[in-house]
Structure 1
Amino acid sequence: MSLKRTKKEDEVWKSDKVRQQRKERLAKMKAKDGYKKPIRDNNKIVRIVSILVVLAIVIGFGGWFAMKNGLRQRYAKAFTVRYDADAKATTETDEDSETEEADKEDTAPKGEVIDKITVAEANIYLGNISQQILQGAGAFSQQGQDALSQPSMYNPEGTLRDDLLLSVEQYAKSGSYNYWKAKQEGLKLDESDQKQIDSNIEQLESIASQSQVTLGHFLSIIYGPGVNESVLREFLEKNLLASKYSEQVNDSLVYDEVTVNQKYDEDPDAYNEVNYRSYFFAGKDTSTETSEEITAEDSAEPVVDMATAKKNAEEFESKVTDEATFEVEADKLGSTDSETQDPDKDATLTTAAKKAYMTPELGEWLFSDERQALDKTVIEESGGYRVVMFIEKYKPVEKVYDSRHILIGVDEEDPEKTDEKSKAKAEEILAEYESGEKTAEAFAELAVKYSEDQGSASNGGQYKEISTGQFVAEYETYCLDPARKPGDVEIVKTVHGYHIIYFEGTTEKWYSTIVNELKQADLQEIYMDVDLHTNITREKGIKYFGKP
């Protein structure tokens, strides 16, 4: 009994001791104000390492998130574009050579900053430029990346990506300049422009849908990370505004009849055309062992040596006296490229030929002022001899015309697009035009709004310099009617549906050719001046260019 009591007393004593020790520990953990002291790690190294580990985790996650969402491509700068009004063209003189070293010391870019281009924008340029080269493969697909990593076509130490970077710089520089000027001129995008952008986005959405991927995924394959619909839309808006300024410059270049006629009189044969017949006798040069193999591309005759080819050509020439005999003799020898040649087309006849696209010898003979109808000759060419018969030389006065149209298609299988309903809709649109300003600009807005011709709707329904035979007969007949006047509008039905046609005017082919030539020369001078005063520099973000 006493033993049990002693044991119980020992247990109580031990419990009191443990409780007292706990109270003492808690007391030590309290501050003077009675609250619990903060826990401190006496090991500073451990504390610092812990902080660094946390920071590394945060930074790593941030970097992963930025890469995953293309934030660095979206915000990192690839290029800065500047306009230097004081830039001057340099010439290679001895004086320039002496100052070359001094010029190298002053490498800081000069001029007013007119644009900063992100890596995402640069990659959109790359995606567009590379489509043809990569044969449809996205620049940021594995196939595209493998192609971009192939050796450069110009620099033994570079890659195809480096080659395309140079092209991107040129597009970016001119685009930035035009965008800058457009803003200075107060140009803005209108409803038709926005519809064009919407149409571009919709086409990409359609392609993505056909590929069973989202638009965002499709854009990342074509244009790389960081390019979503919003970024692409902003890019398209910027470049469309730049295009509006470029078009404004183009439209400002006009030339009067005196200037055009003077240009023609300086060299008529540069614009005249000829019709002629020809037949080629292929021959092989056996005078050297290194002569190339010659194939009979223009002749059904077997390949022989040059002397025999000349003899055959001369015999052929002696037998032909007019176009009919020329055609008969050619038929005896066989038609050219019989498997691919249109059986209804005369293979020996060439029409509307220009001197610029002929060999010098052929051009000089055909365009000689001494030439008479049915003159004939044999001309030596690379790989054989050509028998030529002159028919006529003329100033091309064929009419080319400009017009706008709104197409409303007909589909009898669609109850909403029957002939009757489509005609009624065309008449409603015409009435809307007639009740408005009745200008080309007003018609263009309606074309953007209503036309079903995807090839011209976004451009206000406009087609320029249409030659005879390019459009369906009913359309052409309306536009080439001698009574037609600029500004005439009418509904014309063709196999495509109902066209509301706005006629803008006609010019003769030779006249249009010269106007375009003069315009191209002036535009080239303008572009050279812009290139002189505009410079582009690469920024740190360029290291992300063309890379996923």
Structure 2
Amino acid sequence: MSDNEKKMTRYDMKMQRRQQGGQKTDGGVRLLALGCIAFLVFCVGVFAWKTYQTHQEKNETYVTIGEHEVKKAEYDYYFYSGINSLYSYYGDMLSYMGLDLSKPLDEQNFSEDMTWQEYFDEQAVMQMKQVYALSDELTEAGFEYDATEDVNDFVDSLKTAAVSAGATSEAYLKASYGSFATIKEVERLVERDSIVDAYYNDIMEGIEVTDDEITAYYEDNKDNYDSVDYMIWEVAADIPETEEETVDETETEDETAETLSEEEQAELEAQKAAEEEAVKEAAMADAEVKANDMLDQITDQESFETLCEAQADEDSIEYLKTNVKMSSVTPTTVASWLFDSERQTGDKTVIEYSAGNAYYVVYFLNRYLDETKTVDVRHILIPSDAETTDEMTEEEIAAATEDAKAAALEKAESIYEEWQEGEATEDSFAALAEANSTDTGSSTNGGLYEAVTYGQMVDSFNDWIFDDERKAGDTDIVETEYGYHIMYFVGDNGAAWKLSIEDTLRSQKMNEYVTALVEPMEVVYAKQPETEETETSGETTAETTEDTTAETTAETVSESVEETEE
């Protein structure tokens, strides 16, 4: 070792190892840092890719309707509108239709060859076809309609529903119309739909239906519009009620059944069923004899009445039926007999009703077309409900009820006086109805009810509008169980049967018109899933597993809120 070389002491070697170790540690840190950076780059890439995918899915064409490219948000609006509409109408009854909104729609069958997913898809596509076809036409025709109020009503109802559901308007909107829904987009669609609806109604009102067309339709469908007067009496079979078995008897039968073979048990049950059937047949045979005996004694309407009154246990039993439509007659065997084209006044018969264990004695009086006029009327409803609690005594409730009625009458008289002192026209009455009436069925339409039939409204309301002396422009205040009605009689309308047929024919013509518009429109999905395609209504509707789980608004909103909170 030369003199120039320094001897390595134990301290020097220790420091050298520490330095080398420090160098290794710095290298590890650099490697870890590089790894973290790579991981972050990967995460950013994944996020960017997901964002890109979402952006693409949101902005690319989902389906083409004719010449119109529809994005996913718009498709979802119509898809979920179909679900919402069905749910709002049927509610919990949907389960009886085979639809569970908490499960995937493409795993539930609407029919033998169609899932609920395909059904709602078909409805959405058909709705879009009609909207675009009519929208194109109204633009070309220069049709204008201000839908501002409709959009504002939608926004208000959305906010109210969101508050009721305990969610933000945004969360409620997405839960109701899909994850891509925005208030701006949905407002645009609501506005367009409102304009299209206005155009649709405008065209429909302009469709002419002639008297000859109405007459021809009636001749082909008389049974649906004619009325009959008839008399009917039920002779029920006197079937003895099965005596309730005691616990001891039941236990004895169970013990006996345990000792019998399956064949012997089946034979025993068959024997018991045969005995019960024999008892029923005997009772029905006896009822048939009584019914035919009554039939033999009937010579006219008066004799039928006499026989019924002699057998009636109560004075309230109704045996005379007047102005009855075929759809209201039960059972159907009686309806078929009454509406037979060969039926004549004075015809009588006995009809078996095995499902009800009875026979019916029926006497035919008349068949005719009811020409009674319908009427048009406006009204303003001021409710007279009193606020009561369970803690209140009967006297307190009675007093509160009287006070509420007095307050309602005073308000009705004040509004009535306001109208009388003003222009006192139908238009001014309609304006007051929209401002004051609580009747949801007419308040947004100036309080108007059109083509009201006799008996459609509650008694005092009905009696006032169908008074023989009633004439156009008559006004008054009428009290009903709902409160006080400020009345305005618009005038007589046509007979119900004629108006019904006219509406039917006009709807048929409108359907033909719209069908001709949408028929040439081709439907093409941008992405065809790798599943079998199903032909529906002249267009190809692709099955897809995307967005197949639809839930009720409340459930979906709840999940959306939870996700937002997370």
TM-score normalized by structure 2? 0.61
The answer on whether the counterparts of 2:471 and 2:489 sit within 8 Å (CA) in structure 1 is no
Aligned residues: 435
Relative to 1, partners in 2 of residues 1:356 and 1:134: Cα closer, same or farther, differing over 3 Å?
closer
Structure 1 residues 264 and 410: alpha-carbon distance in aligned structure 2, compared to 1, 3 A threshold: same
Give the Cα separation in 2 of the matches to 1:80 and 1:433.
53
Partner of 2:441: 455
For 1:457-482, what per-residue CA distance to the aligned partner results, in whole angstroms no more than 9, with x for missing partners?
Answer: 33443322211122244543453355
Question: Which residue of structure 1 lines up, in the alignment, with residue 111 of structure 2?
Answer: 154
State the match for 1:480 in structure 2: 466
From the two aligned structures, give the one with the greater helix fraction. Answer: 2
Highest relative contact order (Cα 8 Å, sep 6+), 1 or 2? 2
Q: 2:63 is matched with which residue?
A: 79
Secondary structure of the 1:235 match is helix
Q: Which residue of 1 aligns with 2:45?
A: 56
Structure 2's unaligned 5+ residue stretches are 1-29, 238-269, 274-278, 387-402, 529-543, 551-566
Q: How does 1:293-332 map to 2 (within 5 A)?
A: 310-320=288-298, 322-328=303-309, 331=312
Equivalent residue number for residue 98 of structure 1: none
Q: C-alpha separation between the residues in 2 aligned to 1:415 and 1:75?
A: 58
Matched, 1:505 2:492: yes
Task: Report the secondary structure of 1:144's partner residue.
Answer: coil
2:475 corresponds to which of 472, 490, 495: 490
Q: Does 1:248 align with 2:207?
A: no
Establish whether residue 469 from structure 1 lines up as the match of residue 455 from structure 2: yes
Contact 1:123 1:545 in 2 (8 A): no
The alignment partner of 2:63 has SS state of: strand
1:170 aligns with 2:170: no
CA deviation string 1:102-122 (max 9, x = no partner):
xxxxxxxxxx44976723323
Task: Report how far residue 428 of structure 1 moved.
Answer: 3.3
Structure 1 residue 210: Cα displacement:
3.3
Matches for 1:222-371 after TM superposition, within 5 Å? 222-257=176-211, 260-261=214-215, 264=218, 271-279=225-233, 310-320=288-298, 322-328=303-309, 331=312, 344=316, 346=318, 348-355=319-326, 359=332, 362-368=335-341, 371=344
- Compared with structure 1, are the counterparts of its residues 280 and 243 closer, same or farther at alpha carbon in structure 2 (3 Å cutoff)? farther
Say if 2:106 and 2:545, in contact at 8 Å, map to a contact too.
Answer: no
Q: Which moves more between the two structures, 388-397 or 524-533?
A: 524-533
User: Given that residues 220 and 226 in structure 1 are in contact (C-alpha distance below 8 angstroms), is that contact kept between their aligned partners in structure 2?
Assistant: yes
Superposition map of 1:106-125 within 5 A: 112-113=67-68, 118-125=74-81
Residue 372 of structure 1, aligned match among 324, 345, 358: 345
Indicate the RMSD between aligned Cα atoms, in angstroms. Answer: 4.7
Shift of 1:327: 3.0
Structure 1 segment 185-196 matched on structure 2, within 5 A? 185-190=141-146, 194-196=148-150
The 8 Å contact of residues 476 and 488 in structure 2, kept in 1 or not, is answered as yes
Whether the 8 Å contact between 1:403 and 1:464 is mirrored in structure 2 is yes
For 1:304 and 1:166, locate their aligned partners in 2 and report how far apart those are by CA, in whole Å: 55
Change (3 A) 1:387 1:445: same
Could you say which residue in structure 2 is the equivalent of 1:395?
369
Letter of the structure 1 residue corresponding to residue 466 of structure 2: L
Q: How does 1:182-221 map to 2 (within 5 A)?
A: 182-190=138-146, 194-221=148-175
CA distance in 1, matches of 2:141, 2:167: 41
**Scaled by the length of structure 1, what TM-score is found?**
0.63
Partner-residue secondary structure (3-state), 1:454: coil
Closer, same or farther: CA 538–317 of 1 in aligned 2, 3 Å = farther
Deviation of 1:78 (Å): 4.1
Is the 2:232–2:363 contact (alpha carbons within 8 Å) kept by the matching residues of 1?
yes
Using the alignment, how far apart are the partners of 1:303 and 1:63 within structure 2?
76
2: CA distance, partners of 1:369 / 1:357: 20
% identical aligned pairs: 19
Partner SS, residue 515 of structure 1: helix
Instruction: Note the C-alpha offset of 1:56.
Output: 0.7
The Cα shift of 1:154 comes to 2.9
